[in-house]
Chains A and B, each alone.
Chain A
Amino acid sequence: MASATAAGVRGRAEVSPPPRIAVRVLPNRYGWLMLLVLGVMLLGSINYNNNLGYALTFLLMGVWVMAHVHGYRNLRGIEVLGARATPVFVGEEAVFEVFVCNSSARASHGLAISAGMVTTDMFEVAAGDSHTARLSFPAQRRGVLPLPPVTIASGFPLAIGTARIGWRGEASATVYPHPAGALPLPETDDPAAAAAGYALSGDTDFAGLRAYRTGDSLRQIAWKALARERGLHVKRFAGGVAAQVELRLRDLRFIGDPETQLSQLARWVMDAERAGISYSLDLDHVLLPAGVGEAHREFCLQALAHYGPPS
C-alpha cells in the first residue's frame, strides 16, 4: 500500500456499486423455542382429541411460517448503495457511513446493521427512502482500515426469525498517523518570508475568479457563480507573502522509530497548514511539491498514511 492514491479527496472515499443482494431468513432461537412449544401443544391436542387445540396450534404454525415470509419481505427491497468513511488520525474513531435504500413499495422495519463487533441501533426505512447508518470503529493503526463484511438483519415481525442480507463492499477508511512530536517546523528557505514571520496567506482580499482545478480547496469555490450557472470557479485572494517549508523524512532519521517520524511529519503538516505556510513533503520515494490548502494537506496526510508497510 505504498502508492499514494491521488484520487482521495476528503469525503470522497472508495465507493463500490450496489450488487444484487440475497435475503436469507432463518428461525432464531426464539423461533425454535416457539416450534417446541407448538409441538407440545400439538401433542396435548392429539391426546385430548381437542379440535380447537388443533386449530390454535395449526394457526400458530401458520403464523410461524408467515412470520418468516414477512421477515424476508421486510428486507427484500433493501440495498446497500455503498459505504464510505472520512479519514481519521490514529486514536480517533473511524466512522463508516453505510448508505442503505429501500427500493420496495413497503417500509422496512427494525433493521440493524452490524459489522465486526459493532451493531447500530434499530432503524426503519420508508418505501423508496434511504438511510445512512453510522458504524464507528477505533482507528488503532496507521494505514487502511477496511470495513468488515456488513450484515443487515431484522427480527421483524415477531422476533422469532432473523432475516439477513450480507454486503461485502470495498469501503475502507484511511488512517493518518497520529500528529505528534515536539519539534518546531524546519527553518524556511526563504529569508524574506522568515523575516516576515510566517506572514499568513489569510483569505483577506478578494482578487478575482479563476477556473476550478482539481485539488482546489472547497472553501474557495465560488458558489454564487455556480448558482448563476457560470461554471465552477474558485475565488482567489491576494494575501501576504507565502512562506515555504520543506518537510523531509530524512531530516528526522535521528528521532525514534519510523512511526514516530511519520507522526512528527503529520504534526508539521497540520502546523504548517494552520499557519498558512506553503509546505512540500519529501518521503524519499514520494515527493509532493509545495502547496497549501485543504487538498494539499489531504495529499500529504494520505502519503503519510500509506507510507511503507506499517511497522
Chain B
Amino acid sequence: MTATRRIELTRPVVAWLAVSLLMVVLLHARQQPLWVCGGFLALVLWRILHAWRGVPLPTRDHRMLWLLKHALAIGIFWVVYRRFGGVIGRDAGISLLILLIGLKLLEMKSQREFVLVALLGFFLLVTAFFYSQSIPVAVYALACVAALLGSMVAMALPARARAVGANLRLAGTLMLQAAPLMLIAFVLFPRPGSPLWTLPKDARHAVSGLSEEMSPGELTRLTMSDAVAFRAAFSTNRPSVAEMYWRGPVLVKTDGRTWTPGEPSDRPAPAITAQGVRYSYSITLEPTDRPWIYALEHPSSLPRGTRLSRDLRVLSGRPITDRIRYSAESYTQAWVAEADSEELRAALQLPPDAHPRAQALARQWRREDRSDEGVVRRALQRFRDEPFVYTLSPREIHGDPVDGFLFGTRQGFCEHYASAFTVLMRAAQIPARIVTGYQGGEYNPVGDYYIVRQRDAHAWVEVWLGHRGWVRVDPTAAVAPARVQRGIDQALPGLGATVGEAAADLAVDFAAWRELRYAYDALNNRWNHWVISYNARRQSAMFDEFGLRADWRALALLLGAALLLAGTLLVAWSLRGRRVHGDAIARAYRRFCTKLARRGHPRAPHEGPMDYARRVGAALPAAAADIARITGLYARARYGPGSSGADAQALRSAVRRFAP
C-alpha cells in the first residue's frame, strides 16, 4: 500500500502545459473559426494570470466566476451548434474539444486533471491530421508531442520543471526509443479496407477537379488553383509536353450552354490502333471523389480493377477518395476507328434554335467544301486569322454563348474554343465531341516526374473523319500554340492572380528557388507514396512480394512477434549499464573495509568512517593504530584541503600493507 502525496501544480508545470496546448491549437488555427482560437487563448491567459498574478479562478469560492464558467460552457455548446448545425461533425467536434480543453485548464488543480488535459492535447493533435498530413504538419506535430511529453515530465518531477532542455531531451529520448516500435506497428498493423462506421459528412476535403459537366467559366475556375491533380513518372522515355493529353470526361450532350456526357454505354471499348513509342508511367492521383482516373491518350494497358469505357475514359468503378498510385501504358500516336451509328448521331446533336450564326457559317463551309478535313481546316483557319484572344478573363458574353464568342468578343479560354469548334463541326454534319482532361505538366528534374496541376485542366475536341476515325483537334492550339507546346504558364504570363502567387511567380525566376521547390515537391511525392498512401492494398502487395498472404490474422501474428522482439531488444539495450564502483580512493577504502570484515567486523551501511574506526579500533587493539592511520589518510584524501594524487597513493599502499 502506498500513500500518495498530493502534488501541487506549480507555475512552471502549468506553463508547460499551457504552451504545449497553444502549440497544438495553433495547428487548428487554419481550419477553425477565429473565435474558437481566440476563446482558447483567453482561457489559457486566464489560467496563466491565475498562476502568476493570483487572478481568481472560477471555483465555488468565487460564485460569480463559477457561474460565468458554467454559462461559458453552455454558451460554447450553443454557439458551436448554431455555427455548424450540430456538435457531431468533424469541425464542430474539434471546436468543442478546443474550448472544453480551455475550460478544463481553468479547473485543473490536481495531477489527475493535468494528465487528463495533456491526454486531450494528444487527442486534439491527432484530429489535426484529418485536415492535412503534409510534411510540415507532421514535423510540427512531433514538436507538439515533445512539448506535451515534456509537460508530463515536468508534472512528474515538479522540482525539475524549470529544466526545459532536460525535460525536452527526455521526451525526445522516449520518442526516439518508441520510433522502432512505431515503425513496426505502422507497417504491420492490419489496415481495414473500409471505414468501421459511417464518416461524418464533412470528413473529407472539398476536392477541386474536373467534373462531368462543362459550362463557360468552369475550367477558368480550375486554372486559378495551384493544387496538384496528379504526378506522373515515366519509366523510360517520356513524350513531349505537347503530346501529353491526359484524358478525362468526354462531353457529348449540350443544351447550347452546358455540356454533359452522353448516355453511358455498356458496349466494350473500341479497338485502338497504335504505333510509335509506347510510354509506360505511373500516376499518383490526388483524391478526386470521382469514379474515373486519368491516363495518357490512348492507353494500351490499364491498372488492375479499372476498365476503358466506350468513350475511352478509364473508369475506376468507385470514387477516388484517397490518394492512389497506378501504372499504365499508352501510345500517343493512336487511333480509334470504331463507332456505331448511335454514337455518331449523338455526336451531331445540337439544340435546334441555338447558335444560329455559327450554324449558318458552318453550313456555308459545308456547301463550299465537300471534304470534312477541309471544313476542319477552315474552322481552325478562322481562329487563327480573326483577332481571337486566348485569355482567362474574357469579356462577358450576352446572348448566345457560342455566337457571342465567335462573332462578338472573340476572347475566351479553352472551353470557349472547344465548344465553339464542336458546334461548328456538328452544324457542318461532322460528328464531334468535347474531351476534358489535363494537358501538359511541369517537369520536376529532382524527382524525375511531371506535376500536373488543376490549372493544367484543358478541353479539346475529337471529330469523326470517316476513314480516319476519331481525330483529336485542339482549337486552342490554333490561337495559342504555346499553351499546348510549353504549358499554361508560358501561354498566360501572370496567371497567378492573387498577391501570394504573384510573389511566388517573381521568386520562380530564381533558379535556386525553383530547384528547391522541385526538391520539396519530390520529397512530398515520396512522403505521399510511402507514408500517406500506405493502405490495405499496398500492405498486401508488399506481403505478396515476400510470398506471404496478408490476411489480418497473419499480420497480427507477425506484428505481435516483431513488437515482442523489438521490445525485448529495446529494453535490453536501454537497461544496459553497469553499477558504479567509485574512484581509486573509494576502491582502496572499500578494500580496507573488506579486510576488516574478514576479521568479523563489517562496516554497518550507515556507519561513517570515523565511527567505524572507533568501533573496530576498540575491538582490535593491535590494529587500532593502523586503522586510525588509514582512516585518517582516507579522510585527508577524500575531504582534506588540496588533497592530491599522493594522498590517494599513500592510502592505497597503506591499505595494501594493512593486515589486521
Contact in complex: A57, B574 (CB < 8 Å): no
The yes or no answer to A49 lying at the interface (CB within 8 A) is: yes
* Chain B neighbourhood of A124, CB < 8 A: 159
Contact in complex: B531, A52 (CB < 8 Å): yes
Contact in complex: B531, A63 (CB < 8 Å): no
A54 to B185, CA, bound (A): 9
Residue of B137, B152, B174, B614 touching A226 (CB-CB under 8 A): B614
Contact in complex: A58, B189 (CB < 8 Å): yes
Residues 177-200 of chain B, each 1 if its beta carbon lies under 8 Å from chain A, else 0: 111111001100101100111010
Contact in complex: B129, A56 (CB < 8 Å): yes
A291 to chain B, nearest CB (A): 19
When C-beta atoms are compared, the residue in chain A nearest to B151 turns out to be: A158
A231 to B155, CA, bound (A): 53
A97 to B606, CA, bound (A): 10
Contact in complex: A157, B606 (CB < 8 Å): no
Contact in complex: B189, A229 (CB < 8 Å): no
A254-308 at interface with B (beta carbon < 8 Å): none
The yes or no answer to B370 lying at the interface (CB within 8 A) is: no
The yes or no answer to B534 lying at the interface (CB within 8 A) is: yes
When C-beta atoms are compared, the residue in chain B nearest to A99 turns out to be: B606
* Chain A neighbourhood of B605, CB < 8 A: 15, 17-18, 81-82, 99, 101
Contact in complex: A59, B628 (CB < 8 Å): no
The yes or no answer to A156 lying at the interface (CB within 8 A) is: yes
When C-beta atoms are compared, the residue in chain A nearest to B583 turns out to be: A128
Residue of A51, A76, A118, A119 touching B4 (CB-CB under 8 A): A119
Contact in complex: A105, B145 (CB < 8 Å): no
A99 to chain B, nearest CB (A): 5
Contact in complex: A50, B130 (CB < 8 Å): yes
A202 to chain B, nearest CB (A): 26
Contact in complex: A59, B178 (CB < 8 Å): yes
A130-165 at interface with B (beta carbon < 8 Å): 132, 151, 153, 155-160, 162, 164
Q: What total of chain A residues lie within 8 Å of the partner, measured CB to CB?
A: 84
Contact in complex: B575, A41 (CB < 8 Å): no
Contact in complex: A117, B575 (CB < 8 Å): no
Interface centre among A69, A112, A121, A162 (most CB of B within 10 A): A69
* Chain B neighbourhood of A40, CB < 8 A: 123
Q: From A29-37, A172-180, A184-192, A242-250, give the one contacting chain B.
A: A29-37
Q: From B35-43, B62-70, B109-117, B407-415, give the one contacting chain A.
A: B109-117
* Chain A neighbourhood of B625, CB < 8 A: 229-231
The yes or no answer to B149 lying at the interface (CB within 8 A) is: yes
Residue of B138, B145, B189, B604 touching A54 (CB-CB under 8 A): B189
A65 to B179, CA, bound (A): 11
The yes or no answer to A167 lying at the interface (CB within 8 A) is: no
When C-beta atoms are compared, the residue in chain B nearest to A37 turns out to be: B119
The yes or no answer to A106 lying at the interface (CB within 8 A) is: yes
A214 to B130, CA, bound (A): 79
Residue of A59, A76, A164 touching B575 (CB-CB under 8 A): A76
The yes or no answer to B271 lying at the interface (CB within 8 A) is: no
* Chain B neighbourhood of A109, CB < 8 A: 157, 160
* Chain A neighbourhood of B174, CB < 8 A: 63, 66-67, 70, 157-158
The yes or no answer to A86 lying at the interface (CB within 8 A) is: no
* Chain B neighbourhood of A49, CB < 8 A: 191-192, 195, 322, 535
Q: A43-B196, A50-B129 are in contact. Are A65 and B567 (CB under 8 A)?
A: yes
Residues 578-597 of chain B, each 1 if its beta carbon lies under 8 Å from chain A, else 0: 11101000000000000000
The yes or no answer to B170 lying at the interface (CB within 8 A) is: yes
When C-beta atoms are compared, the residue in chain B nearest to A162 turns out to be: B2
* Chain B neighbourhood of A214, CB < 8 A: 618
* Chain B neighbourhood of A61, CB < 8 A: 178, 181-182, 185
A13 to B27, CA, bound (A): 61
Residues 599-630 of chain B, each 1 if its beta carbon lies under 8 Å from chain A, else 0: 00000111000000110011001001100110
The yes or no answer to B3 lying at the interface (CB within 8 A) is: yes
A229 to B614, CA, bound (A): 11
* Chain A neighbourhood of B120, CB < 8 A: 37
Contact in complex: A60, B145 (CB < 8 Å): yes
Contact in complex: B156, A158 (CB < 8 Å): yes
B541 to chain A, nearest CB (A): 16
* Chain B neighbourhood of A208, CB < 8 A: none
Contact in complex: B575, A48 (CB < 8 Å): no
* Majority-rule SS of A interface residues: mixed
A190 to B246, CA, bound (A): 125
The yes or no answer to B333 lying at the interface (CB within 8 A) is: no
Contact in complex: B5, A119 (CB < 8 Å): yes
Contact in complex: B2, A153 (CB < 8 Å): yes
A43 to B158, CA, bound (A): 33
B119-176 at interface with A (beta carbon < 8 Å): 119-120, 122-123, 125-127, 129-130, 133, 137-138, 141, 145, 149, 152-153, 155-160, 170, 174-175
A104 to B582, CA, bound (A): 11
Residue of A17, A34, A103, A164 touching B119 (CB-CB under 8 A): A34
Contact in complex: A112, B5 (CB < 8 Å): yes
Residue of A17, A29, A48, A151 touching B130 (CB-CB under 8 A): A48
Contact in complex: B579, A231 (CB < 8 Å): no
Residues 50-93 of chain A, each 1 if its beta carbon lies under 8 Å from chain B, else 0: 11111111111111011101101100110001101000000000
* Chain B neighbourhood of A41, CB < 8 A: 122-123, 126
A171 to chain B, nearest CB (A): 11
The yes or no answer to B392 lying at the interface (CB within 8 A) is: no
Residue of A59, A82, A104 touching B175 (CB-CB under 8 A): A59
Residue of A51, A157, A164, A231 touching B532 (CB-CB under 8 A): A51
Contact in complex: B570, A66 (CB < 8 Å): yes
* Chain A neighbourhood of B112, CB < 8 A: 29-30
Contact in complex: A62, B177 (CB < 8 Å): yes
* Chain B neighbourhood of A227, CB < 8 A: 632
* Chain B neighbourhood of A200, CB < 8 A: none
A116 to B4, CA, bound (A): 11
Contact in complex: B531, A51 (CB < 8 Å): yes
A53 to B130, CA, bound (A): 8
Q: A112-B5, A159-B152 are in contact. Are A60 and B122 (CB under 8 A)?
A: yes
Q: A51-B133, A56-B126, A81-B606 are in contact. Are A232 and B614 (CB under 8 A)?
A: yes
A116 to B122, CA, bound (A): 37
A110 to B533, CA, bound (A): 43
Contact in complex: A58, B115 (CB < 8 Å): no
The yes or no answer to A237 lying at the interface (CB within 8 A) is: no
* Chain A neighbourhood of B196, CB < 8 A: 43, 46-47
The yes or no answer to A45 lying at the interface (CB within 8 A) is: yes
Residue of B138, B195, B606 touching A47 (CB-CB under 8 A): B195
Contact in complex: A232, B575 (CB < 8 Å): no
Q: A17-B605, A51-B531, A69-B575 are in contact. Are A62 and B178 (CB under 8 A)?
A: yes
B206-249 at interface with A (beta carbon < 8 Å): none
In the A-B complex, the 7 residue pairs with the closest CB atoms? A62-B178, A81-B605, A62-B181, A159-B156, A58-B185, A128-B580, A58-B182
Binding site for A on B (CB under 8 A): 1-5, 111-112, 115-116, 119-120, 122-123, 125-127, 129-130, 133, 137-138, 141, 145, 149, 152-153, 155-160, 170, 174-175, 177-182, 185-186, 189, 191-192, 195-197, 199, 203, 322, 531-535, 567, 570-571, 574-575, 577-580, 582, 604-606, 613-614, 617-618, 621, 624-625, 628-629, 632
Can you list 21 A-B pairs with a CB-CB distance of less than 8 A? A37-B120, A37-B123, A46-B196, A47-B196, A48-B195, A56-B126, A59-B179, A61-B181, A61-B182, A62-B180, A63-B174, A65-B181, A69-B177, A69-B570, A97-B606, A114-B3, A116-B3, A124-B159, A226-B614, A227-B632, A229-B628
